[in-house]
Structure 1
């Protein structure tokens, strides 16, 4: 399983499509603020949520599951992610997710919070509190392990974020 996690592309559909093509993931998760018409999104298997800057009618929350790993996807503005991850974590736990993907802050995050792996891929166009734009790729690396690697839009690894994480609960 290889999942591209991306957020806050803010109208740069060409960059989004190029990254989606280069990563060649099994699935794409876009955590909102794509800020384009929906038909301008990559034509690949995707889970897309509406961000606070989107006008397209997309769900505010969604879920996707593969190989026993359940992803909770939201933009994060309704979960106050700029001040605390606790509301996001609780909502993800309520949905039975092991991974919570979110955006909104434009700050790349990858950390375990209780039983939930929190991933904010950052922004591919307008990074904040980080020196470069980023996106993330999650890959299954073991029975319960996943590897999360962050990249800049040129496809170079961003070593300051990511790692290998053991997902609690279900066997993957």
Structure 2
């Protein structure tokens, strides 16, 4: 199964347009959004092209293909604009190789993980810093932010294709990091 990951959109319409274009051409079955969809939050500067209502409209066009979790900047008011569930603090997707535990990163994180089994994947956003690595018996995956990247990293998104998680630069698709998920 091929999956696409985006996190920390923070209401950026240009980032959303780029994500949706990549998703449309990726042949991914699902677009997984790891929180902070519409609002930029009080600690972040306004992202380029801040237009949360238009972001909601564009994402609603593919609502049936979105799996998402609530970020620390997401609210019940945001849910009123979206045609897909946003309020779950975590989700799980079962893969042949293990469980994909989806969370934003402010409740569960690599430093405060939920109970996970060997072969599971902890996928989160929140830090805006891309990570794809094996840590002990689990894989830690953070696709970074599509709108407000931090550190030395560009805006980025993730893909799961076959048994490899990959992080790509949003602008040019260049691979930033990858990790195999087979035990």
Q: TM-score range by the shorter chain?
A: 0.7 to 0.9
Paired residues in the alignment total 154
Distance in 1 (alpha carbons) for counterparts of 2:73 and 2:17: 18
1:3 corresponds in structure 2 to 3
Q: Which runs of 5+ in 2 are unaligned?
A: 39-51, 80-85
Is the Cα–Cα contact under 8 Å of residues 6 and 30 in structure 1 kept in the other structure?
yes
CA RMSD of superposed structures (Å): 2.3
Task: Tell me the residue number matched to 2:43.
Answer: none
Higher normalized strand content (fraction of residues): 1
> Out of 120, 132, 151, which is 1:98 matched to?
120
Partner of 1:72: 101
Pair 1:97–1:52, CA change in 2 (3 A): farther
Q: Which runs of 5+ in 1 are unaligned?
A: 141-145, 168-172
Structure-2 separation of matches of 1:155 and 1:22: 14
**Where does residue 173 of structure 2 map in the other structure?**
156
Give the distance between the partners of 1:40 and 1:69, measured in 2 at CA. 32
Task: Say which SS state the counterpart of residue 16 (structure 1) adopts.
Answer: helix
**C-alpha distance in structure 2 between counterparts of 1:103 and 1:120, whole Å:** 5
CA distance in 2, matches of 1:61, 1:14: 25
SS in 2 for 1:87: coil
1:48 alignment partner in structure 2: 68
Aligned with residue 33 of structure 2, among 30, 33, 38: 30
Report the 3-state secondary structure (helix = DSSP H, G, I; strand = E; otherwise coil) of the residue aligned with 1:5: strand
Could you state the TM-score of these two structures normalised by the residue count of structure 2? 0.73
